[in-house]
């Protein structure tokens, strides 16, 4: 399997048998968004985000999986797209609580 990282940073995956570092490819997948103001509560603006077209993912290719952000994954509607699983169960954090890697990838 070939892994293509379409995020702006290296992805680190810790598994029982091997630790993976999937370097950023230099291409970044994004999803278009429209932000609409909804209301203001105690001076705090409340907005709604509507997601649109996904950009930056190459055409499907046999044997290739694309790593993208969670929001891109949720809007891509493709079986060859995964995202780092940063849930409490799968995130690996340093002493300061920053995520330094994950134990799993996820599909939509």
3-state secondary structure 59-71: CCCCCEEEECCHH
Closest CA to 24 of 12, 33, 34: 12
Condensed to tens digits (0 to 9), the pLDDT of residues 22-37 reads: 999 999 999 999 999 9
> What average pLDDT score do residues 58-86 get?
98
For 57, which DSSP code?
P
Give CA angle at 7 (6, 11), nearest 5°.
Answer: 105
Where does residue 16 rank: exposed (0-12), middle (13-18), buried (19+ CB within 10 A)?
Answer: exposed
pTM, to two decimals: 0.91
């Amino acid at each position: 399997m070939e892994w293509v990282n379409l995020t702006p940073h290296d992805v680190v995956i810790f598994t029982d048998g091997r630790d993976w570092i999937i370097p950023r490819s230099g291409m970044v997948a994004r999803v278009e968004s429209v932000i609409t103001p909804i209301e203001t509560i105690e001076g705090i603006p409340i907005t709604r985000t509507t997601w649109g077209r996904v950009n930056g993912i190459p055409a499907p290719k046999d044997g290739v999986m694309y790593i993208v952000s969670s929001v891109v994954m949720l809007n891509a509607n493709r079986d060859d797209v995964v995202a780092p699983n940063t849930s409490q169960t799968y995130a690996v954090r340093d002493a300061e609580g920053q995520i330094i890697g994950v134990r799993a990838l996820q599909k939509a």
